[in-house]
């Protein structure tokens, strides 16, 4: 077995043991090192190393009596997962109806640090379709979904995120400067919808609307994508109306405006 294989096995072993530690901790309000070592069947030295790492990441708390417990960060991670599962369950029938109405590919994306992630896709009825997949990360500055999610951030978050982005040009239409991006984000906030005009991929145009939760925050963004030869500019208003209506339906199901 080569060094790379051995290293890979060690990493898998470390991950499985770390998960075991978290699973045991979840069963106790707090537990001391000796008891935890017995429960996990790990040497104390190894266990301390894992606990120290988990503590530095904010997942484990060590109290003054040297007892260990999970922090609320684990609850937060689980809650986000449940939120996304609930969002997908609610959104899919609406997204499918929108794809049927317009005949084109529908995506839904969420904000994930300095990118957007596709969490839902409903395929176009046509043979020529979008080359995209659930789980794919897309840029914030040159996609309709990304710009919508970026525009919804408060001023401080938005300025900080825009300042960190590297505005790599994908096409001749890609936004090149932070000032230009900020101007478009302000327009999006006023209009309530966003558009990608061949900014990320030549020959593809997208229109997007926000999906808001009960707090009014954009929990996700819903878009429809067209290959340019099937996009009819004279129908733009009806496209926008249909997408915004679908996004409002999902938002209402998430409690927005209730």
Q: Are 122 and 95 in contact (CB under 8 A)?
A: yes
Mean pLDDT of all residues belonging to the chain: 87
Q: Which of 179, 188, 183, 186 is nearest to 206 (CA)?
A: 188
Does 214 score more than 60 pLDDT?
yes
pLDDT score for 70: 87
Share of the chain above pLDDT 90, in %: 56
Q: pLDDT tens digits for 182-194?
A: 999 999 999 999 9
**Based on the domain organization, do 136 and 228 belong to the same domain?**
yes
Residue 3 has pLDDT above 60, yes or no: no
pLDDT reported for residue 256: 79
Give the other-Cβ count within 10 Å of 89's Cβ. Answer: 10
Q: DSSP characters for 74-117?
A: HHHHHHHHHHHHHHHHHHHHHHHHHHHHH-SEEEEEEEETTEEE
* Whether residue 243 has pLDDT greater than 90: yes
Instruction: Supply the DSSP string of 126-158, one letter for each residue.
Output: SSS-----TT-EE-SSSSHHHHHHHHTS-HHHH
Range of the domain at 218: 76-253
CATH code of the domain in which 150 resides: 3.30.450.40
Nearest CA among 125, 132, 120 for reference residue 94: 120
Answer yes or no: is pLDDT of 81 > 90.
Answer: no
> Do 124 and 47 share a structural domain?
no
Q: Dihedral sign for Cα 139, 145, 151, 156, please.
A: negative
9-13, 19-23, 101-105, 113-117, range with the lowest pLDDT: 9-13
Q: Do 118 and 106 contact (CB within 8 A), yes or no?
A: no
- Residue 81 and residue 30 share a domain: no
Q: How many domains are there within the chain?
A: 2
Provide mean pLDDT across the span 37-43.
Answer: 90
The reply to whether 22 and 133 lie within a common domain is: no
- Confidence (pLDDT) at 88: 85
Average pLDDT over residues 64-86: 70
Of 182 and 11, the one with more pLDDT: 182
Give me the mean pLDDT over the 179-206 stretch.
Answer: 95
pLDDT above 60 (res 154): yes
Integer Cα distance of 140 and 60 in angstroms: 33
pLDDT tens digit sequence for 92-139: 999 999 999 999 999 999 998 888 988 899 988 776 656 677 878 899
- pLDDT number for residue 189: 94
Q: Is the domain of 44 the same as that of 9?
A: yes
Q: What local confidence, expressed as pLDDT, does residue 4 receive?
A: 47
Query: Can you give the pTM of this predicted structure?
Result: 0.67
Q: Does residue 29 belong to any structural domain of this protein?
A: yes
Same domain (yes/no): 154, 184? yes
pLDDT class of 158 with cuts at 50, 70, 90: very high
Q: What is the mean pLDDT of residues 228-243?
A: 94
User: 11, 40, 70: which is the final residue of a domain?
Assistant: 70
Rounded CA-CA distance 160/115 in Å is: 13
């Amino acid at each position: 077995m080569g060094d790379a294989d051995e290293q890979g096995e060690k990493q898998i072993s470390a991950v499985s043991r770390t998960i075991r530690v978290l699973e045991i901790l979840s069963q106790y309000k707090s537990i001391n090192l000796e008891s935890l070592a017995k429960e996990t069947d790990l040497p104390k030295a190894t266990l301390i190393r894992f606990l120290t790492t988990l503590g530095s990441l904010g997942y484990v708390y060590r109290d003054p009596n040297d007892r260990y417990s999970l922090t609320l960060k684990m609850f937060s991670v689980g809650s986000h997962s449940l939120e996304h599962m609930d969002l997908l369950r609610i959104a899919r029938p609406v997204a499918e109806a929108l794809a049927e109405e317009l005949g084109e590919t529908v995506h839904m994306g969420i904000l994930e640090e300095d990118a957007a992630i596709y969490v839902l896709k409903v395929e176009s009825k046509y043979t020529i379709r979008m080359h995209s997949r659930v789980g794919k990360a897309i840029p914030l500055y040159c996609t309709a979904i990304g710009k919508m999610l970026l525009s919804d951030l408060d001023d401080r978050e938005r300025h900080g995120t825009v300042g960190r982005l590297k505005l790599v040009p994908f096409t001749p239409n890609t936004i090149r400067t932070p000032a230009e991006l900020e101007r478009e984000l302000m327009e999006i906030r006023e209009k309530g919808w966003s558009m990608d005009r061949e900014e990320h991929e030549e020959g593809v145009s997208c229109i997007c609307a926000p999906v808001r939760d009960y707090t009014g925050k954009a929990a996700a963004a819903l878009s429809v994508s067209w290959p340019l030869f099937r996009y009819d500019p004279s129908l733009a208003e009806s496209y926008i109306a249909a997408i915004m209506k679908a996004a409002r339906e999902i938002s209402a199901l998430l409690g927005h405006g209730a």
